[in-house]
Amino acid sequence: MLPDGYSDVPAGKLAAVVTCLDMPAPPAVRADSAPQPGVRLERIAAPAPDWYRDLYRRIGAEWLWASRLTMADDELQAVLDHPDVEVYAVMKDGRAEGLLELDFREEGVCELAFFGLTPAAIGNGTGRWLMNRAVERVWFGQERGPVRRFWVHTCTLDHPQALGFYIRSGFVPVRRQVEVFDDPRATGVLPLDTAPRVPIL
């Protein structure tokens, strides 16, 4: 447990407050409109690491996502190939502009492992539409066994609207943690000029 007061974060590290949220039962799905012209959701079976990392980076670099960028190809491919991991892309005019990754590897549980849109797909209702598709898949996908828990985590480095979006979608905050980790810009995983709002120390 962290003590009250300030705790120093070493140079080259980042600290984030992580909020874990649970959805223990299907929510009342919020209405969404039809997807924008040229937008559709496509399941990507066993995506190649290079394809996956390109989309992951275009969505998450601004929010300092890096965990999947540092995994070895074989380790990442093993996750993406797993029959209980589902990867979906929001396709806009033939290009992937959004990511939905559902992890069912724990029996009766689904983690919303990754959820995000590139700047090209933000601001037109696509996020709400994508979340509704995720909720439908998790709670009403008939070929899987019953789900008792759907969960996600977000942190203070993510988009400032992420936490509120998840709460409005039916997730309930249940746990708060502090994560300290290597700054991916300091280690060369992301360029030094990424996310300039977060200073590098």
Domain map of the chain by residue range? Answer: 32-181
With cut-offs at 50, 70 and 90, classify the pLDDT of residue 20: very high
Q: pLDDT, tens digit, for every residue of 27-82? A: 887 777 777 788 999 999 999 999 999 999 999 999 999 999 999 999 999 999 99
pLDDT of residue 123: 83
Lowest mean pLDDT segment, chosen from 35-39, 152-156, 179-183: 35-39
Q: What is the DSSP string of 35-92?
A: PPTTEEEEE-SS--HHHHHHHHHHHHGGGT--TTTSS-HHHHHHHHH-TTEEEEEEEE
pLDDT of residue 10: 95
Are 178 and 15 spatial neighbours (Cβ–Cβ below 8 Å)? yes
pLDDT of residue 2: 83
Q: What is the mean pLDDT of the chain?
A: 94
The DSSP secondary-structure symbol of 141 reads -
pLDDT of residue 74: 96
Lowest mean pLDDT segment, chosen from 47-56, 122-131, 141-150, 154-163: 141-150
Q: What percent of the chain lies above the pLDDT cut of 90? A: 83
CA distances from 63 to 37, 41, 54, 107, 176 (A): 27, 23, 15, 30, 19
Beta bridge partners of 101: 87, 114
pLDDT of residue 137: 94
Asked whether residue 144 carries a pLDDT value surpassing 80, the answer given is no
Average pLDDT score over residue span 122-137: 92
pLDDT of residue 186: 97
Considering the domain 32-181, what is its CATH architecture? Answer: 3-Layer(aba) Sandwich (3.40)
pLDDT of residue 30: 74
Q: Which two tokens stand for residue 145?
A: 């066994």
Q: pLDDT, tens digit, for every residue of 2-16? A: 889 999 999 999 999
pLDDT of residue 156: 98
Residue 84: closest CA among 66, 116, 67, 109: 109
